[in-house]
Structure 1
């Protein structure tokens, strides 16, 4: 696939994923903590599985260990910096529903960029890896859109605007996909580096944000079951595509 097609694919999965989450919130205005925790746990397990069993092995095959691991470290550092900036902003804004929802949207938009990078880099490596990554990112974006939309709805924002903001937060996925696909055409080492960066971003987001968030929302066994189900689902997707 050419970079433009990959960019459109990234844009589509990003906006559809978060947009569907926003759409569900229009009908299900007050999702339970248990439901949100399970949704985030499953999507986190799915991300972890595809990164470990598909994205990283493909990067190792393309260029070996060095460039991929350098990319992973860079990806982790990028997200740590983003996280620190968001924490500083959140501390100044307070915890009102609308502000919480909008801050969640900014955070989602920021980390949708490296997720798009994962899609673009994966397609640059092979179409099967790209398709599995695109599917996983799309599924992962659904609970993010829902978690963003729920506090916005609770804060009194009109449904059309909630849907608009959730779709808007998915656009950076297309931008990241274009960057990943374009850089991936330059050399195999750069493909592996990009895939490593994307993997590092996704691993940090999963382990530092999604799993703790899922556990905070629901402390029962269902969260662990959701993570394991997501991992198994990721393995199935990896083998089927």
Structure 2
């Protein structure tokens, strides 16, 4: 099974990896079938954990390899990393301003983007998590593309580890969509369908990422840093504030530390 995966093209590897992360989103959303309600405290802890995984992945799986790759460039190694990181963050900031969305446990008055009042609450909730998943899928795609480039700072194990870590943190994200929809009176089936749908964008963005860097290999350090900046923006703008807004700050913060530590251990041990 492992040999078959290794023999696949980078595009197919990235696609399979993000089908796994999408599956984890669906698994989290499926909790709507097993329980009527879920503790908000638990949801906030899970969200904090997801933030910790994303922060650790942004450095060990994306920024650190980007800096190593850029060492051979004529410019200082930090140039590609810094420019890519800033561009990724500002890109997500711009997308946030354009696409209407809102986060779980907030009111319609807190919705963001252009003309959010013209959208249904359920649509805004789905769009919020979908926005989170764009940089995650892109990060996985770029990582597999970097492996194809044969750089010493990357490995197939590291790319797989990144997909594993993102898959783990996608579980609470799926739950964070389906449970609020269920609380608002939507059927279990529709709540699940909308919850898992938010993860569909990851395979798409992963394929875009791997194709971009395999066609334009010199962009790899910039692309890795871009994905890192986009992920950190999501954590700072939405994941951490969302996990704190219900009064469970200590639990969310400690869960973030645990998520960071687990992802760090996975990346160092397996990557």
Superposition TM-score, scaled by structure 1 size: 0.90
User: How far apart, in 2, do the equivalents of 1:70 and 1:221 lie?
Assistant: 34
User: How far apart, in 2, do the equivalents of 1:187 and 1:66 lie?
Assistant: 18
1:9-48 pair list within 5 angstroms: 9-48=16-55
Residue 66 of structure 1: aligned partner:
79
Computing the radius of gyration from Cα coordinates, the structure with the larger value is 2
Structure 1 residue 110, shift from structure 2 partner: 2.7
Q: How many residues are aligned here?
A: 237
Residue 174 of structure 1: aligned partner:
203
User: How far apart, in 2, do the equivalents of 1:13 and 1:65 lie?
Assistant: 33
Superposition TM-score, scaled by structure 2 size: 0.81
Deviating beyond 6 angstroms after TM superposition, the runs of 4 or more aligned structure 1 residues are: none
User: How far apart, in 2, do the equivalents of 1:69 and 1:188 lie?
Assistant: 18
Task: Give the 3-state SS of the residue equivalent to 1:88 in structure 2.
Answer: coil
1:158-169 pair list within 5 angstroms: 158-169=187-198
Structure 1 residue 93, shift from structure 2 partner: 5.2
Residue 115 of structure 1: aligned partner:
136
1:135-146 pair list within 5 angstroms: 135-146=164-175
Distance 1:27-1:80 versus aligned 2 partners, 3 A rule: same
Q: Which has the higher helix share?
A: 1
Residue 4 of structure 1: aligned partner:
11
Task: Give the 3-state SS of the residue equivalent to 2:24 in structure 1.
Answer: helix
User: How far apart, in 2, do the equivalents of 1:176 and 1:151 lie?
Assistant: 26
User: How far apart, in 2, do the equivalents of 1:36 and 1:89 lie?
Assistant: 28
1:82 to 95, 100, 116: 95
